[in-house]
Structure 1
Amino acid sequence: MARMSWSEACQLDSSLLSLETFFPFPPDYAQTLTGGLTNRCWKVVAADGKAYVWRPSTHITQAFSISRFQEYQILSAIESTGIAPHAIHINDQGLLVTWIEGESLGGGIAFDSLLKTMIAIHNISTKRVPVAPFNFTARVDHYWMLLDDRYKVEPYISIYNQWRRAPSLADVGHTLCHFDLAGYNMVRTETGNKVIDWEYAAIADPRLDLTLSIDVMGERPLEAIYRYCQLRGIEGVDDWVEGVLAWQPRANMMAMLWYLLANQLWGDEQYLIQARKLQEIICS
């Protein structure tokens, strides 16, 4: 993280200027935060010593269909759970949330611990979260529409066309889903594990959320599904097995398009390599 004066930070990112009416005195300093793929956030330390995270709205967040206002609504709705940062301020330039002090869990979290956190999120009443349900087809169509023609070639075309519709499954209800729950988005604190980076969160099929975490954590699907159902007290395990297996190629396709779009936006070859790996997994 690069630490710099507030004025230097504002010169680098003009969106920070929108916070000058929020802070009664200019903040002491700001630091760039590493690790986020979608956006470049800032740690802002105010004159009174309180720390925040500034999550800007940019052409990058728009490209990935991220709404800071929706993120603000979700964080505000679940504030009493204590599982996430508090949403402090929202404007057309971005979202300011509290900084969570603790140890990033990175790759050092047991999958059981992650599942317990996921279940806590899935058990939050959706009645208190005023956002529209996640639309899988609309999301992947959005990614595809933004891609340049150089990416719209085989086998990407066939993969997208084959898997762009949500699967027809037994209804297990919709829950609040984080959609990027892994150790790198969890912080160990004195009061337990907290979850950060809610920019992709939505009301959706929890089996998709579980699918995404199984993949990123490299877990065996069947064992992970049975353990999730055991921890959550679910008896109809078959519907969950069928659901996760149906979501897997679709989740991989969505991630593939995400990486292709990231390669287009940033030009980093690593994103294209990841997209090709996912393409090979889907085709196999």
Structure 2
Amino acid sequence: MAKIAWVEACQLDPTLSSLTRFFDVPPAFAETLAGGLTNRCWKIVAPHKGNYVWRPISELTNAFTISRFQEYQILKAIEHDVIGPKAVFINEKGLLVEWIDGDQFNDAEFDLQLKTLVRIHLLDKKRIPVAPFNYTARVDHYWMQLPASVQDEALKVLYQRWRSVPTLEPEELTLCHFDLGPHNLVKTAQGLRVIDWEYAGIADPRLDLAMLLTTEDKLNPAHIARYCQLRDIDTVDAWIEGVTQWSIRVQMLALLWYLLAFHLRGDPIYEQQAIQIKENLCK
């Protein structure tokens, strides 16, 4: 992270200037945070108020259908559960949340990741006033933003085949995080805290579990059965089938995400990831 004087930081990112009324005394400085493509955020150090994270709205958040207002609603709804950061302030430029101090999560503690996912899925979704996640609409949104030069025949076949939800027995929708990797977990004295809720929504929990297991390269029946055990779910075989079906759609979402990221940013690492996923799906 690079420390930058507040005035200079506001020049680099004009959205920071929208916080002038929130801070009675200008912050001492801001730090750029390392993160993903859509998570170009700032740590703000304000001696009289504390430390915060500024999550701006940008062309990239709009391109990936990220709503800071929805993120704010979710964080406010689960605030008393002490699992995510507190949402402090929101305006038309972005979202301000508390900075959570803690230690980096250990990748080896995967069972704790599963328990945290279960904890999220058991939160009372009735308190969260957001529309359910629409998988097909998200896939179509990514697809329509890709240039025609990228939409070759192989990609079109994959898109047409995997743009629909799998045919499964219905499962009660839950709050889903959709990015519960170690990079979004912070170990604190109060327990494990979860950050970066920008992709969160109300959805099929089998999709969220598939997202976690697929991205962590841990997609196997044992981990699905462990999740079911933690939630006292008896239909383990049905869940294994459901998570497996969703895992293919997870890869489809990731493929389009990386292609769109490469289109918007031009970073070859996104293209490389897309090529690898595309090859796997074509098999």
Relative to the length of structure 2, the TM-score reads 0.98
In the alignment, does 2:41 pair up with 1:41?
yes
The residue type equivalent to 1:248 in the other structure is: S
CA apart distance, 1:216: 1.6
Taking the aligned partners of 1:109 and 1:118, their CA distance within structure 2 comes to 16
Taking the aligned partners of 1:113 and 1:89, their CA distance within structure 2 comes to 30
In the alignment, does 2:195 pair up with 1:196?
yes
The alignment partner of 2:153 has SS state of coil
**Paired position in structure 2 for 1:104:** 104
Taking the aligned partners of 1:36 and 1:85, their CA distance within structure 2 comes to 18
Taking the aligned partners of 1:111 and 1:38, their CA distance within structure 2 comes to 25
Taking the aligned partners of 1:74 and 1:44, their CA distance within structure 2 comes to 22
Contact 2:256 2:274 survives alignment (8 Å): yes
Taking the aligned partners of 2:103 and 2:190, their CA distance within structure 1 comes to 12
**Paired position in structure 1 for 2:227:** 228
The alignment partner of 1:40 has SS state of coil
CA apart distance, 1:49: 5.3
**Correspondences of 1:169-180 after superposition (within 5 Å):** 169-180=168-179
Taking the aligned partners of 2:16 and 2:51, their CA distance within structure 1 comes to 14
CA apart distance, 1:242: 1.5
Taking the aligned partners of 2:114 and 2:170, their CA distance within structure 1 comes to 21
CA apart distance, 1:51: 0.3
**Correspondences of 1:15-34 after superposition (within 5 Å):** 15-34=15-34
Contact 1:111 1:217 survives alignment (8 Å): no
Taking the aligned partners of 2:74 and 2:238, their CA distance within structure 1 comes to 28
Contact 2:210 2:219 survives alignment (8 Å): no
**Paired position in structure 2 for 1:165:** 164
Select between 177-186 and 42-51 the one with higher mean Cα deviation.
42-51
User: Can you list the C-alpha shifts for 1:55-103, whole angstroms capped at 9, x where unaligned?
Assistant: 0000000000000000000000000000000000000100000000001
Count matched residues: 283
**Paired position in structure 2 for 1:241:** 240
The alignment partner of 1:4 has SS state of strand
Contact 1:104 1:185 survives alignment (8 Å): no
Structure 1, unpaired ranges of 5+: none
Select between 30-39 and 251-260 the one with higher mean Cα deviation.
30-39
Taking the aligned partners of 1:263 and 1:2, their CA distance within structure 2 comes to 25
Over 4 Å off, 4+ runs: none
**Paired position in structure 1 for 2:67:** 67
CA apart distance, 1:6: 0.3
**Paired position in structure 2 for 1:140:** 139
Taking the aligned partners of 1:109 and 1:192, their CA distance within structure 2 comes to 17
User: Can you list the C-alpha shifts for 1:136-155, whole angstroms capped at 9, x where unaligned?
Assistant: 00001000011111111131
Q: CA RMSD for the aligned pairs?
A: 1.0
Taking the aligned partners of 1:232 and 1:37, their CA distance within structure 2 comes to 33
Taking the aligned partners of 2:221 and 2:240, their CA distance within structure 1 comes to 7
Select between 34-43 and 64-73 the one with higher mean Cα deviation.
34-43
CA apart distance, 1:109: 4.1
The residue type equivalent to 1:120 in the other structure is: R
